[in-house]
């Protein structure tokens, strides 16, 4: 169970994201993002070592507000396999130095997200310890989510999403599988794409204070 500490981080999460996001192809704002927290949720690491947070931020630096999803992991030491996803380091008031990664590159976040899509774990409240978040909705496709998937494989940033390769341990899947993480969030219902094996939807607050809801992640099987 993740424990939420009421303490400080220096630099703060929004400061780190403001320095990191403009380098990403999905970023659409100005040179200096103006970020506010707009929602999110957490997942538990079964080993209790890695913090996992799906943060939603709204940027008002451009011509119109844009809301982004940034999945992040918080670690007590650097991890070489996720080096390409390093957002930065921060001093935590209780835990000391933390290495903060873009979760698309972190095996712990990817595999716990796959577990969530498969119904094997539960989303947690972003701001409270041991409190499930009932607003996070998981929808399974007709074929369902295969068990035993691992990742991340190749990680590719696109104009509005990040695509992460996943697959069964030790063998190639019958069809290539990809976990698509929405970066630019747009309100709307679940995808009707027949290739969707599982989808994750939840809510956020837009720049006008209205509650919105949309797709955060989709597990896709490529067509033969």
Q: Report the C-alpha dihedral over residues 96, 97, 98, 99, rounded to 10 degrees.
A: -170
3-class secondary-structure state, position 54: strand
Q: Is the pLDDT of residue 125 over 90?
A: yes
Pick the closest to residue 86 from 141, 134, 16 (CA basis).
Answer: 16
Q: What does the pLDDT look like over 185-217, one tens digit per residue?
A: 999 998 887 789 999 999 999 999 999 999 999
Place of tokens 């309100």: 187
Which tokens hold the place of 118?
């498969």
Q: What does the pLDDT look like over 44-63, one tens digit per residue?
A: 999 999 999 999 999 999 99
| pLDDT value, residue 105 | 97
Higher pLDDT, 166 or 169: 166
pTM, entire model: 0.93
User: CA–CA separation, 47 vs 203, rounded Å?
Assistant: 28
pLDDT-derived band at 5, boundaries 50, 70, 90:
low
Burial 69-107 (b: 16+ CB within 10 A, else e): bbbbbbbeeebeebeebebeebebeeeeebbbbbbbbbb
């Amino acid at each position: 169970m993740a424990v939420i500490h009421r303490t400080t981080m220096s630099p703060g999460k929004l400061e780190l994201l403001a320095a990191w996001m403009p380098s990403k192809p999905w970023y659409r704002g100005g040179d200096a993002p103006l970020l506010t927290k707009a929602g999110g949720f957490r997942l538990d690491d079964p080993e209790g070592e890695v913090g996992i947070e799906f943060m939603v931020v709204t940027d008002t630096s451009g011509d119109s507000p844009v809301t982004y999803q940034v999945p992040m992991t918080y670690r007590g030491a650097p991890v070489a396999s996720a080096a390409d996803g390093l957002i930065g380091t921060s001093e935590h008031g209780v835990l000391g130095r933390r290495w903060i990664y873009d979760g698309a590159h972190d095996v712990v976040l990817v595999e716990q997200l796959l577990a969530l899509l498969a119904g094997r774990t539960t989303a947690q409240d972003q701001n409270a310890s041991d409190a499930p978040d009932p607003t996070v909705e998981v929808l399974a496709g007709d074929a369902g989510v295969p068990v035993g998937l691992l990742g991340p494989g190749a990680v590719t940033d696109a104009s509005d999403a990040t695509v992460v390769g996943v697959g069964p341990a030790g063998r190639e899947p019958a069809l290539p599988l990809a976990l698509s993480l929405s970066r630019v969030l747009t309100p709307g219902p679940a995808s009707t794409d027949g290739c969707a094996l599982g989808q994750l939807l939840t809510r956020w607050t837009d720049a006008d204070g209205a509650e919105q809801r949309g797709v955060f992640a989709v597990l896709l099987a490529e067509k033969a």
